[in-house]
Amino acid sequence: MGSQIRCPSFLKGLNMQNEVKKPNARIAVVGVGYWGKNLVRNFHELGALEALCDADQTLEGAYARNYAGVRFYSQFKEVLADPSIDGVALATPAVAHYEMAKAALEAGKDVLVEKPLAIDVKHGEELVRLAEAKHRVLMVGHILRYHPAMLKLQQLIQEGALGKISYLYSNRLNIGKIRTEENILWSFAPHDISVMLALLNEMPTRVTCQGGAYLNHDITDVTLSHFEFPSGVQAHIFVSWLHPIKEQRLVVVGSEKMAVFDDTADHKLVLYPHKVEWKNRIPTAVKANGEIVALDRREPLRAECQHFLDCVASRTAPVSDGKEGLRVLRVLDVCQRALHNGEIVLETENTKREKKERPYFVHESAFVDEGAEIGAGTKVWHFSHVMKGARIGECCVIGQNVNVDGGTVIGSNVKIQNNVSVYTGATIEDDVFLGPSCVLTNVTNPRSQVNRHSLYESTLLKRGCTIGANATIVCGVEIGRYAFVGAGSVVTKNVPDFALVVGNPARQVGWMSRHGHRLACPESNGVMLCPESGYRYQEVEPGVLRCLDLHEEAPLPTDLSKGTKSYKQLKEESSYASATTRS
């Protein structure tokens, strides 16, 4: 989410003069009730209003008196079928934006849609792609992008007049129309999100959101969203429709000046050259008088409507085009998810690029420290953490909630199941399997009061061994190649190659094949057979088992690297064969 935002020249493409340009586009306003009437008025005064559309046919009479000659449609499909209409302005409920904008674009109409662009990110992405494919203008009604105060503030920030920006916050509060089709976040916050993204020219990397539903249990009435940006700037947006007075204020805190935009005040934009001076190592505020910024007094909505007409005529992208609307939609979506799930960390363009370039997979909820080494094909799953200095080989699977400390070395094709911590001092060779919730320690006599960070003991898990679920490996031991530690066992001493150990403390109870099967009693020649692979094993000296058909370091042949029968089947067949041989 750290993409750079296209930052147009502040007045380029915006006709901020009071004269009316002759439009070469004919516009239909769809939804002419609560907000739509303002679009109707402006497009009519700009000489571009061609038709009106609303399902409430009782509105036709009032509009006919005030807008003589403007056609009135009760069905949207009639607007789309009218060849005299070049573009539509949609002032309909947010839940209808996607379907109506899509239909208009497919009908060859240019589209101005009120915020938000859609209520689903995938729908927003589809609209942007469709507009590009159809070569249509797609514009979102982020009205503050056309406010003279915001244009001036954007210019001042870009010129460095405010110094280094450190913090922004906005309050959009009111007691008025309370919606039931969308919550306060989607109704009020798009304005302030679009402005903050434009002023900072970057997307947030961390988002939190809190809120409350007081009138309807499933419709949030108040939210407070907090954002962190890649540059270090932080911001918050407070929105509510349960507030005794109307407040629309944005504060920008810079190192040289602070700016206050108050849309309800006579002077919309005021700069405060306050300073913070350090005296006796104590920060002290030094206040100064506010500086009123002179602004063009043109109505922002008029500028927005004129800009849409200009873009339709010139076939150029609007300031608040579909891509800008999609960025706002993505932030809204993250805020909504954070409202229910807590803090969300987002990707920057750098991390996206790294993710695309890196040959391994890391789930969005997992974290890999810079300085960790991970091989190609490895997957790090939910809520896991690979710390700086850890080394992991190729084609490993790091399950859910796994912690890999710095200084650990993990080979290739290692499977680490859920809820395992691999502590500093552990070395895990290729093809090892660590079962769910097994434990590896690195200090024999740990004490909270005694720091033994420099005295970690080594534990070596050799190639191909298996550690069963909930087993504990006390540090300072070696688990031999292809050894098998039974579930829940506690290993306190070295385990030989191919040994099967169980219990607390673990003791050897038999031998295991490379395929993970307990080897039966040897035949007269001392040879034991693996029921799955047919490989022969023999104890070449007391306590030392070897495979007679394949060296311990050699990879398994392809035809023997995938199981074809269940453990139960192989056990039954092996028992039957043994009984037959004995008889």
Residue 100 has pLDDT above 90, yes or no: yes
61-83: average pLDDT: 92
Report in angstroms the alpha-carbon separations of 537 from 38, 508, 522. Answer: 87, 17, 9
pLDDT of residue 17: 43
Is residue 6's pLDDT more than 60? no
Q: In a 10 Å sphere around its CB, with 0-12 CB exposed, 13-18 middle and 19+ buried, how is residue 439 labelled?
A: middle
The letter for the amino acid at 479 is I
pLDDT score at 5 = 44
Average pLDDT, integer, range 122-141 = 96
Residue 578 has a CB neighbour count (10 Å cut-off) of 14
Per-residue confidence (pLDDT) for residue 61, from 0 to 100:
87
Give mean pLDDT, residues 519-539. Answer: 86
* Mean pLDDT estimate for the chain: 89
pLDDT given at position 283? 82
pLDDT greater than 80 at residue 82? yes
According to DSSP, residue 201 is labeled: T
- Mean pLDDT over residues 503-524, rounded? 90
The answer to whether 250 and 168 have CB atoms below 8 angstroms apart is yes
Query: What pLDDT score was predicted for residue 7?
Result: 42
pLDDT for residue 582 is more than 50? no
In this predicted structure, the answer to whether residue 307 has a pLDDT above a threshold of 60 is yes
Give yes or no for residue 124 having a pLDDT over 90. Answer: yes
Query: How many angstroms separate the CA atoms of 398 and 209, rounded?
Result: 30
- Find the angle CA(558)-CA(561)-CA(567) to the nearest 5 degrees: 150
Interior CA angle at 299 toward 298 and 304, to 5°? 105
pLDDT tens per residue, range 224-239: 999 999 889 999 999 9
CATH of segment(s) 146-298: 3.30.360.10
Structure tokens that stand for 363 in this block: 């789930």
To the nearest 10°, the Cα dihedral for 68, 70, 73, 74?
-40
- Is the pTM of the predicted complex or chain greater than 0.95? no
pLDDT (average), residues 541-569: 86
Rounded Cα gap, residues 206 and 87, in angstroms: 38
Which helix (H) or strand (E) is 88 found in, with range? strand 87-90
- State the residue for tokens 């385990």: 495
Mean pLDDT of 196-203: 93
- The C-alpha atoms of residue 557 and residue 208 are separated, in whole angstroms, by 51
Cα–Cα distance for residue pair 72/49, rounded to 1 Å = 11
Model pLDDT, residue 473? 97
Residue boundaries of the structural domains of the chain: 146-298, 349-525, 526-583
- Stretch among 214-223, 373-382, 478-487, 506-515 having the lowest mean pLDDT: 214-223
What's the first-to-final CA gap in the chain, in angstroms?
72
Which pLDDT value is given to residue 278?
78
pLDDT score of 36 = 93
Say which amino acid occupies 492: T
The contacts of residue 209 (CB under 8 Å, 6+ apart) are: 185, 223, 224, 225, 226, 335, 336, 338, 339
- Express each pLDDT in 230-268 by its tens digit: 889 999 999 999 999 999 999 999 989 999 999 999 999
CATH architecture of the domain formed by 349-525: 3 Solenoid (2.160)
Confidence of residue 349 (pLDDT cuts 50, 70, 90): low
Q: Which one of 49-63, 121-135, 513-527 scores highest in mean pLDDT?
A: 121-135
